[in-house]
Amino acid sequence: MKKDTLVTHAGRHPERFDGMVNTPVFRASTVTFPTVAEMGRRHASCYDLPYYGRYGTPTTLALEEAVAAVEGARFGVAVPSGMGAIAATLLTILRPGDHLLMVDSVYGPTRKFCDSALTRMGIETTYYDPLIGAGIAALMTPATKLVFCESPGSLTFEVQDIPAIAEAAHRTGALVALDNTWASPLFFAPFTKGVDLSIQAATKYVVGHSDALLGTITLNDRTLYERLKETLVMFGYSTGSEEAFLGMRGLRSLSARLERHQRNALAVARWLQDQPEVARVLYPALPDDPGHALWARDFTGASGLFGVLLNPASKAQVTAMLDGMTHFAMGFSWGGFESLILATTGNIPRSARPWTWEGPSLRLHVGLEDPEDLIADLRAGLDRLTREPA
Ligand SMILES: *Cc1c(COP(=O)(O)O)cnc(C)c1O
């Protein structure tokens, strides 16, 4: 089945629900059983069948099935947020004494989790250059159990050579996890590129409407899948059926939305490149981006999120720009239908490869509005920036 057909059909079972197109929202903690034998049977396969609310409901199981199918994996697990998916992955795989290789351009809260929770547990993290590629082999130690990737990187958008990293990691028996949120399950096929576990902050493009938090992890190894499920149940990480339903609803239009996000983002990014206030646009879909060749080789599209490096300007000038935007709202998160803008200046922590840009920087999420309106909004913003005394 082609991707668009999968997005439409995966995880739907109308025959189980009186012909209803969608799996309903099941509100359930208790599941009852008619006989002792049935109770025992369901308990034995508690990861596949509703057994108790904390293990999942038909709604969360449907989401897991759908996301796994679309991302190209055998198994999927639903988690209450993207951060939950990251934490559950790290806590399932790593033990005290283990070593983790973490990409330097990772999502900030993931970095925080490594530096606090993992450090407390006696798990050592080494940050590596996002552009390291096969050179990661030199950082592998006998204790390295996991190499964690995120491509393109949060805020800075470097594209990683995932196949080369995966090959080096697998040579010494380490697993590879990828935060695949930027590409969504549609624009990067992790399991054809050597990834063992793929993480989605489904809060972003899968939900797609800025109205729910949700995470997913997909993978092919059954033993690891059962260990992950065990972690989630043990920690009490249960995903609400309402959120799972919203994730499924978002998934059905994911392909159509992403196509438009990509078209709009390219139009806005190309326009920004030509503005005198802009030093560089960080978007691998642009032909002159340093990550373009890897992106073109490994990805099938670009989503609506990119960075902008502005020429030197004062804090007051950037504030004058941001305070007056009409269509771009200021906010964390992204992946919804609406455009967002965020100042990222001075907010890019690095340890392996310093981030040297001295000027202001922004992150834009280009939504589904008409790009002409978005461009006019940005031009007016840049005019405010220029007019404001430095
Ligand atoms: C937002 C985000 C997360 C965290 O997702 P939440 O659902 O907000 O917890 C993880 N990784 C990336 C790359 C993100 O952008």
DSSP output for 315-366: HHHHHHHHHT-SSSEE-S---SSS-EEEE-TT----SSS-----S-EEEEE-
Given the residues 107, 127, 225, 283, the one annotated as active site = 107
Q: Is ligand 1 within 6 A of the CB of residue 180? A: no
| Residue 222 bears catalytic tag | no
The average pLDDT across 208-237 equals 96
Instruction: Tell me the pLDDT tens digit for each residue of 164-187.
Output: 999 999 999 999 999 999 999 999
Instruction: Tell me the pLDDT tens digit for each residue of 105-148.
Output: 999 999 999 999 999 999 999 999 999 999 999 999 999 999 99
Q: Is ligand 1 within 6 A of the CB of residue 107? A: yes
Instruction: Tell me the pLDDT tens digit for each residue of 97-116.
Output: 999 999 999 999 999 999 99
pLDDT band at 214 (very low <50, low <70, confident <90, very high): very high
How high is the pLDDT of residue 361? 97
Q: Which residues contact 210 (CB under 8 A, 6 or more apart)?
A: 333, 335, 336, 337, 338
Q: Which residues contact 367 (CB under 8 A, 6 or more apart)?
A: 261, 264, 304, 336, 337, 338, 339, 340, 374
pTM: 0.97
Residue 164 alpha carbon to ligand 1 centre in Å: 25
Phi, psi of 212 (to 5 degrees): -160, 150
Query: Judging by beta carbons within 10 Å of its beta carbon (0-12, 13-18, 19+), is residue 380 exposed, middle or buried?
Result: middle
Q: Is ligand 1 within 6 A of the CB of residue 156? A: no
Q: b/e for 45-75, b at 16 or more Cβ within 10 A?
A: ebbeebbbbebbbbbbbbbbbbbbbbbbbeb
Name the residue ranges covered by the structural domains of the chain.
3-252, 255-387
Model confidence at 347: pLDDT above 90: no
Mean pLDDT taken over the chain: 97
| Residue 54 bears catalytic tag | yes
Given the residues 179, 289, 298, 377, the one annotated as active site = 179
CB atoms within 10 A of CB 293: 12
Residue 78 alpha carbon to ligand 1 centre in Å: 14
Model confidence at 353: pLDDT above 90: no
Residue 340 β-bridge partners? 329, 365
User: Ligand 1 pocket check: which of 154, 204, 207, 364 to mutate, most ligand atoms within 8 Å of Cβ?
Assistant: 204
Do 3-252 and 255-387 share a fold? Answer: no
Given the residues 12, 145, 193, 204, the one annotated as active site = 204
Q: What are the structure tokens assigned to 329, written together?
A: 């709202």
Atom number in ligand 1 closest to CA 213: 7
Residue 203 alpha carbon to ligand 1 centre in Å: 7
If one looks up domain 3-252 in CATH, what number appears?
3.40.640.10
- The C-alpha atoms of residue 89 and residue 214 are separated, in whole angstroms, by 15
Atom number in ligand 1 closest to CA 204: 1
Phi, psi of 380 (to 5 degrees): -65, -40
The average pLDDT across 237-242 equals 96
Given the residues 42, 54, 353, 379, the one annotated as active site = 54
- Helix residue ranges per DSSP H, the chain: 3-9, 36-44, 58-71, 82-93, 108-113, 119-120, 162-171, 184-187, 222-235, 241-252, 254-273, 292-298, 315-323, 371-387
Decide if 216 contacts 202 (C-beta within 8 A).
yes
How high is the pLDDT of residue 217? 98
Instruction: Tell me the pLDDT tens digit for each residue of 244-291.
Output: 999 999 999 999 999 999 999 999 999 999 999 999 999 999 999 999
**Protein residue whose Cα sits closest to atom 2 of ligand 1:** 201
pLDDT band at 45 (very low <50, low <70, confident <90, very high): confident
How high is the pLDDT of residue 348? 87
Atom number in ligand 1 closest to CA 215: 7
The average pLDDT across 20-35 equals 96
| Residue 179 bears catalytic tag | yes
User: Ligand 1 pocket check: which of 106, 203, 239 to mutate, most ligand atoms within 8 Å of Cβ?
Assistant: 203
DSSP label of 23: -
Q: Which residues contact 77 (CB under 8 A, 6 or more apart)?
A: 64, 88, 216, 217, 218, 225, 228, 229, 232
Q: What angle do CA 222, 223, 225 make, to 5 degrees?
A: 60
Decide if 263 contacts 277 (C-beta within 8 A).
no
- The C-alpha atoms of residue 91 and residue 232 are separated, in whole angstroms, by 10
DSSP label of 117: I
pLDDT band at 50 (very low <50, low <70, confident <90, very high): confident
- The C-alpha atoms of residue 58 and residue 38 are separated, in whole angstroms, by 18
| Residue 263 bears catalytic tag | no
Residue 43 alpha carbon to ligand 1 centre in Å: 33
The topology under which CATH files domain 255-387 is Aspartate Aminotransferase, domain 1 (3.90.1150)
How high is the pLDDT of residue 102? 98
The average pLDDT across 373-389 equals 98
User: With the CA atoms of 291, 293, 296 and 301 taken in that order, what torsion angle do they form, in degrees rounded to the nearest 10?
Assistant: 20
- % of the chain with per-residue pLDDT over 90: 95
How high is the pLDDT of residue 47? 81
- The C-alpha atoms of residue 201 and residue 211 are separated, in whole angstroms, by 13
Residue 38 alpha carbon to ligand 1 centre in Å: 39
